[in-house]
Structure 1
Amino acid sequence: MIDQALRDQLRVAHERNDYAPLLALIPYASLIGIECRREEQGVLFCLPANRNNIGNPLLPAIHGGVIAGFMELAAALQLILFTGTEQVPKIIDFSVDYLRAGLYRDTFARCQLWRQGRRVTNVAITAWQADPQEPIATARAHFKIDESTAP
């Protein structure tokens, strides 16, 4: 369950459009350096270029596992930030399609939520670098959620 202090911190983050204190509570988010901010189109997640995230030093390209982890974490954060869930959503499955190399540069992601039934939410995630119309990866995730929280 999310306690009142965390709810208050989430409210303040929404008001200030500063999610860094919340992300600092997630060790993997800190490790890979994920950032997010609210925009007119929704939440924009960013994975800044970081030499520690490189998997292929010859290109250089971001490790596929880092890209997948970034996308999965973005989906979970989207649910936490905007569904009012009282618990961390539990992942049921995650499937990623790599479309092109994620080169050593900033990577961005957006998520779309759809409710499926009473307890499952489907999240579609798109990641890109230079142009949102040229994604480097797409993914689908299903999360088990509390029945009272619908996207």
Structure 2
Amino acid sequence: MTDLLHRLPYARFLGLLTEADGDNLTVTMPFADRLIGNPVLPALHGGATAALLELTAVAQVAALYPRLRLPRPINVNVAYLRSGRPVDVHASARISRAGRRVAHVLAEAWQDDRAQPIAALTAHFLLAVGDLE
């Protein structure tokens, strides 16, 4: 899956790093000054956090359901739970339910303590892209 994220331009821009533990992926977004959205606090930009979560979910779905094409997002909902500090952010995703065409995915992003996420994602991804085109 490292290869998958390296092929996506925005994942490369964010500098995403992937670590696999069996079928579970943990994606890390190393801190960089360009990721600051609010310089007063300073806090990470919400768009970078959302992109980390979505790309983590895509990578997890692609790892468990390999296709010729990437899973397409149908809908994505991100809940921002606390401000992201200017440090590395980690994310992992799990597929809560998958059918032949659609997967429901939950993802969380955290910094120092996994039990205190800074953001959470709920999304549906289209799996059977080739059948519908």
Length-normalised TM-score, structure 2: 0.89
Deviations 1:88-135 (A, max 9, x none): 111100001100000100000110013344311011001000100000
Aligned residue type for 1:74: T
Distance 2:41 2:53 in 1: 21
8 Å Cα contact 1:126-1:138 kept in structure 2: yes
Aligned-CA RMSD value: 1.9
Among 99, 121, 134, the residue aligned to 2:81: 99
Runs of 4+ in 1 over 3 A off after TM superposition: none
Max Rg structure? 1
1:46 corresponds to: 28
Q: Work out whether residues 23 and 64 of structure 2, in 8 Å CA contact, stay in contact via their aligned partners in 1.
A: no
Rate the CA distance shift 1:117–1:81 in 2: closer, same or farther, 3 A. Answer: closer
Q: Does the aligned pair in 1 maintain the 2:36–2:43 contact within 8 Å?
A: yes
Classify the secondary structure of the residue corresponding to 2:12. helix
Where 1:81 maps in the other structure, the secondary structure is helix
**TM-superposed deviation, 1:86:** 2.6
In 1, the alpha carbon distance for the partners of 2:113 and 2:47 equals 21
Indicate the structure whose relative CO is greater, using CA pairs within 8 Å and at least 6 residues apart. Answer: 2
Q: Secondary structure at the match of 1:100?
A: coil
Of 2, 16, 27, the residue aligned with 1:34 is 16
Name structure 1 gaps, 5 residues minimum: 1-9, 11-18
1:124-135 matches, cutoff 5 A: 124-135=106-117
| TM-score normalised over the length of structure 1 | 0.79
Compared CA separation, residues 144 and 64, structure 1 to 2 (3 A): same
SS at match of 1:111: strand
Identity of aligned residues (%): 36
> Structure 2 CA distance, aligned partners of 1:70 and 1:51?
16
Q: For 1:62, which of 23, 44, 47 is the aligned residue? A: 44
Counterpart in 1 of 2:97? 115
**Number of matched residues?**
130
